[in-house]
Amino acid sequence: MTAADGCAAPEQTAELPAGIDLATQAVIQGVVSGTSTAYARLLDGTGEFTGEVVVSDEGIFRFFAAPGDWTVRIIAGGGVTKDIPVQAKLGEVAQLQVAV
């Protein structure tokens, strides 16, 4: 199966995917620099794991989240881990820049 079959995460690009209505979405996205491979993990307000994506070749990641307080954990090669607190708000894109 392929992404075209609906079995993969959407491509991580700087632009929001077509059809996303920000009036009904809270988006957390960012760019990771300083590493060639990384994962972005979304943790809820209590620190519980909610989701994870592979950061794109360009360093981009995105989550669609409920409004509220979140933590994005960047996990990069060499044992590097960075936690970034972020607040998701309905109708907004929370944009993060993360250097590892």
Contacts of 72 (CB under 8 A, 6+ apart): 28, 30, 40, 41, 42, 43, 61, 63, 83, 84, 86, 96, 98
pLDDT digits (tens, 9 = 90+) for 38-72: 999 999 999 999 999 999 999 999 999 999 999 99
3-state helix, strand, coil split of the chain in percent (to 5) is 10, 50, 40
- Is it the case that residue 89 has pLDDT exceeding 80? yes
pLDDT at 1 over 90: no
Whether the CB-CB separation of 37 and 57 falls below 8 Å is answered with: no
pTM: 0.80
Domains defined for the chain, CATH in brackets: 25-99 (2.60.40.10)
